Amino acid sequence: MLYLKKIIPFMLMLWLMPAMLVAQNNGQQQQSREELERRKKELQREIDEANEQLKETKKSTRESLGQLRALRDKITLRSRLINNINEEINFINGDINSAYRDVKTLQKDLDTLKAQYALLVVYAYKNRSSYDMLNFVFSAQSFNDAVKRFQYLKQYREYRRRQADNIVTTQDQLNRKIQNLESQRVKRSDALKTEQEQRTTLEVDKKEKDEVLSKLKGREKELVADINQRNKDAQKVQAAIRAVIRKEIEDARRKAIEEETARRKALEEKRRREEEARRAAALAAAEKAKAAAAAANNNNTANNTPAPATPAPAPPVKTPEPTPEPEKATARTENVLEATPEALALSESFEANRGKLPWPVDAGNIIEHFGIHQHAVMEHIQVPSDGIVIATNKGGAVKSIFDGEVKSVVVMPGSGYVIIIRHGQYFTTYVRLQTTRVKKGDNVKTGQVIGTASTNDIENTGEVELQIWKGITKQNPEQWIRRR
């Protein structure tokens, strides 16, 4: 009995496991399909944006890096879209194979049911006479045997009816499976056609990209001069940013020193006053005791009584120094830029939104990434970038990505307006602005418009550069703003 109690749950688990695995597999497959469809729509949207960007850059009279970037983005996105379509085709092929197996199984089941039903019909035809049926019942040896024979005939008729119903049901299932199979085949044909169209367009894009790249390589001297000028402008911007941040650090340090000096001075003054008060109290007590002794001496002299000894004045009681409370251990490293509770709270809030900060523009795409990377045309040249450059609408609004205080608004040659906003120990910098709507000392909120994007006349687009600094250390803005 104990053995059965142990073995029954195990047998139930083995019996239910295939059904659970099938259900789990179907759920994962459905989720994968939904993810494929979502990615497909997202890729198509990004391709449309790249096409719009390419249209704008083509308005220029000469080939530009913007055209090359837009074409490369289109090629990359279209290649991803083709891979997405191929994955979808694989899913459809799986559905077709599954439907084909189901059709074959149902066809086999239908043939078996029809064969069995045919035997039943033949048997029923041979025994169609009512006399034979009655003779079969009344020829029983006993009443109970007759009842059993009657029930057998009744069950036989019911079995024939169920067999006929099973044939009809199986035929309906077979027809639906065949229709589904044909639908999946049509769907696969459409997907293959779309995939082929995308491949044809991809080849056209690659050919156009190669033509633009070839023409740009013919202007290598011009491009090298542009790179050198951009590097000089970037160095000036970086020097200005570092100067502002260092000034903030020095101001915060000086303020902290002044506050500490004032605190110590106030503490010393308090101690001095307490000491003077204790001395005055001790002196007053001594004078009082001396006067009392003199009065007692005079009375004793008049009565010829010896005067009692004058008690020595009690030493002043020192108030014990307050024991300083032990400093609480904190996980954060002490930073002078977080010396105030407000600055600390702002830093922590900024960090909590890592990867979730909004973009500084409503619409756009990143055309230059953070760090050192190869030049788009001359692959032997390394190009540094202190932030990310976003292509957007000409004159498009540029917004603050977080609450903070404007610490600097300057105009830099070749870089337009540069706005630096402090968020505790973090700083966001907005470069290449055409106009500005804020001034130094303004407090700004997340999403507040602070200026407009500059215009790249060569590429006929708007541009803005976003930099994020933690103290004097540069950060990768793509790790802070949310993905699109």
Quick one: 235 and 126 in the same domain? no
Q: Residue 440's pLDDT is what?
A: 94
Number of domains composing the chain: 2
Please give the residue that has the higher pLDDT: either 62 or 447.
447
What per-residue string of b and e applies to 144-160 under the rule 16 or more CB within 10 Å gives b?
eeeeebbeeeeeeeeeb
- The one-letter amino acid code at 207 reads K
Quick one: 139 and 229 in the same domain? no
Quick one: 85 and 60 in the same domain? yes
Q: Is the separation of the CB atoms in 424 and 350 below 8 Å?
A: yes
Q: Residue 157's pLDDT is what?
A: 66
Q: Is the separation of the CB atoms in 369 and 388 below 8 Å?
A: yes
Quick one: 232 and 154 in the same domain? no
Please state the rounded mean pLDDT for residues 72-84: 87
CA–CA distance, 358 with 367 (Å, rounded to integer): 17
Q: Residue 424's pLDDT is what?
A: 93
Please state the rounded mean pLDDT for residues 299-310: 56
Instruction: Please say if the pLDDT value at position 416 is more than 70.
Output: yes
Please give the residue that has the higher pLDDT: either 154 or 358.
358
Q: Residue 3's pLDDT is what?
A: 45
Please state the rounded mean pLDDT for residues 215-222: 77
Quick one: 197 and 233 in the same domain? no
Q: Residue 154's pLDDT is what?
A: 65
Neighbour tally for 300: CB within 10 Å: 13
- Nearest by Cα to 399 from 426, 424, 415, 421: 421
Examine residue 468 and state whether it is found in any structural domain, yes or no.
yes
Instruction: Please say if the pLDDT value at position 327 is more than 50.
Output: no
Q: Residue 361's pLDDT is what?
A: 95
Q: Residue 419's pLDDT is what?
A: 96
> Structure tokens of 167?
């044939």
Residue with tokens 């199984």: 105
Examine residue 94 and state whether it is found in any structural domain, yes or no.
yes
**Percent of the chain residues topping a pLDDT of 70:** 75
Quick one: 112 and 240 in the same domain? no
Q: How confident is the model at residue 321 (pLDDT cuts 50, 70, 90)?
A: low
Examine residue 365 and state whether it is found in any structural domain, yes or no.
yes
Please give the residue that has the higher pLDDT: either 251 or 163.
251
Give the pLDDT confidence of 458-469 residue by residue, as tens digits. 667 789 999 999
Q: Is the separation of the CB atoms in 360 and 483 below 8 Å?
A: no
Quick one: 177 and 232 in the same domain? no
Quick one: 472 and 386 in the same domain? yes
Give the pLDDT confidence of 348-364 residue by residue, as tens digits. 999 999 999 999 999 88
- Nearest by Cα to 72 from 98, 50, 46, 56: 50
Q: Residue 16's pLDDT is what?
A: 52
How far is CA 300 from its chain centroid? Answer: 97
| Degrees, nearest 5: CA angle 296-299-305 | 95
Give the pLDDT confidence of 255-300 residue by residue, as tens digits. 888 887 888 888 888 888 888 888 888 888 888 888 777 777 766 6
Q: Residue 9's pLDDT is what?
A: 53
The residue from 168, 197, 217 where one domain ends is: 217
Examine residue 360 and state whether it is found in any structural domain, yes or no.
yes
Question: Which of 66-80, 106-120, 402-416 has the weakest average pLDDT?
Answer: 106-120
Q: Is the separation of the CB atoms in 397 and 448 below 8 Å?
A: no
Quick one: 47 and 196 in the same domain? yes
- The CATH number for 465's domain is 2.70.70.10
Examine residue 272 and state whether it is found in any structural domain, yes or no.
no
> Structure tokens of 267?
């503490």
Please state the rounded mean pLDDT for residues 299-324: 53
Please give the residue that has the higher pLDDT: either 429 or 158.
429
- Nearest by Cα to 430 from 446, 460, 452: 452
- Nearest by Cα to 387 from 401, 370, 409, 372: 370
Quick one: 197 and 241 in the same domain? no
Instruction: Please say if the pLDDT value at position 130 is more than 50.
Output: no
Please give the residue that has the higher pLDDT: either 266 or 7.
266
Give the global pTM: 0.61
Please state the rounded mean pLDDT for residues 436-445: 95
Quick one: 454 and 428 in the same domain? yes
CA–CA distance, 481 with 178 (Å, rounded to integer): 50
Examine residue 295 and state whether it is found in any structural domain, yes or no.
no
Examine residue 283 and state whether it is found in any structural domain, yes or no.
no
Q: CA separation (Å) from 14 to 4, 26, 407?
A: 15, 19, 69
CA–CA distance, 221 with 229 (Å, rounded to integer): 12
Average pLDDT value over all residues in the chain: 78
Q: What range does the domain containing 50 cover? A: 2-217
Examine residue 254 and state whether it is found in any structural domain, yes or no.
no
CA–CA distance, 366 with 69 (Å, rounded to integer): 10
| Degrees, nearest 5: CA angle 112-114-120 | 105
Quick one: 206 and 228 in the same domain? no
Please state the rounded mean pLDDT for residues 72-81: 86
Give the pLDDT confidence of 24-33 residue by residue, as tens digits. 555 555 557 7
Q: Residue 328's pLDDT is what?
A: 47
